[in-house]
């Protein structure tokens, strides 16, 4: 059975977007070669990706471009090669290896998890993560905790949830990657 993991950059006060819905704050900060290498390795893991419509459209607009290949070649290669799923009733995906999930999202993801192969990562897509968390389908949450307090915004969680820490790693730029198993 495939694991379903949420991968999200969050502020120290737990938000994945600021009050205006932006995520620019997550990509600032000091350069850190060790963190950049970790990001590249994580993107090259060979897993499948799941997006909501908004996140998918942002990713589709950037990762297949020459700019993405020049700025982050390993990440761009991994993103473009990965099998991708997008939960939407309104778009026609154009990005390579993308499959549309229509209808009951929880049922579609439950079916995906029963297959063999690599795990599935939800990137961004906070409402998708919240829906699937409420349905009990999330196995792990991996957060890049960025050293900034936003004071408001959106969180991945809509209900309380017990988690169990399974890994953590701090980087010189102040980011801390924590991985929790859903309890």
Question: pLDDT digits over 63-116, tens only?
Answer: 999 999 999 898 899 899 999 999 998 898 899 999 999 889 999 999 999 988
- Around Cβ 131, how many Cβ atoms within 10 Å? 18
Check if the beta carbon of residue 113 is closer than 8 Å to that of residue 120: yes
| DSSP-H helix ranges across the chain | 33-43, 53-62, 66-71, 73-81, 105-114, 126-134
Angle subtended at Cα 120 by Cα 57 and Cα 111, rounded to the nearest 5 degrees: 100
Q: Residue 47 CA to chain centroid, in angstroms?
A: 12
Question: pLDDT digits over 132-146, tens only?
Answer: 999 999 999 999 999
CA–CA gap between residue 108 and residue 102 (Å, rounded): 8
Domains of the chain: which residue ranges? 4-166
Which residues lie across from 165 on neighbouring strands?
180
pTM: 0.90
The residue behind tokens 């991968």 is: 7
Indicate the CATH number of 4-166 among 3.40.50.970, 3.40.50.720, 3.40.50.740, 3.40.430.10. 3.40.430.10
Rounded to 5 degrees, what are φ and ψ at 110? -60, -40
CA–CA gap between residue 142 and residue 45 (Å, rounded): 14
Q: State mean pLDDT over 143-169.
A: 93
pLDDT at 44: 67
CA–CA gap between residue 30 and residue 151 (Å, rounded): 22
Question: pLDDT digits over 32-60, tens only?
Answer: 889 888 887 777 677 899 999 999 999 99
């Amino acid at each position: 059975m495939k694991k379903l993991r949420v991968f999200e950059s969050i502020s120290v006060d737990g938000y994945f977007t600021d009050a205006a819905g932006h995520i620019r704050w997550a990509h600032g900060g000091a350069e850190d070669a060790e963190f950049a290498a970790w990001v590249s390795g994580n993107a090259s893991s060979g897993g499948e990706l799941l997006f909501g419509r908004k996140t998918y459209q942002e990713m589709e607009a950037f990762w297949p471009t020459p700019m993405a290949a020049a700025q982050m070649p390993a990440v761009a290669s991994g993103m473009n090669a990965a099998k991708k799923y997008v939960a939407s009733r309104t778009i026609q995906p154009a990005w390579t290896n993308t499959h549309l999930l229509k209808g009951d999202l929880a049922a579609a993801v439950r079916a995906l998890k029963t297959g063999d192969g690599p795990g599935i990562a939800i990137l961004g897509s906070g409402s998708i993560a919240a829906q699937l968390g409420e349905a009990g389908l999330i196995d792990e949450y991996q957060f890049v905790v960025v050293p900034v307090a936003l004071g408001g915004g959106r969180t991945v969680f809509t209900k309380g949830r017990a988690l169990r820490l399974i890994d953590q790693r701090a980087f010189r730029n102040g980011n801390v990657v924590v991985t929790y198993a859903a309890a």
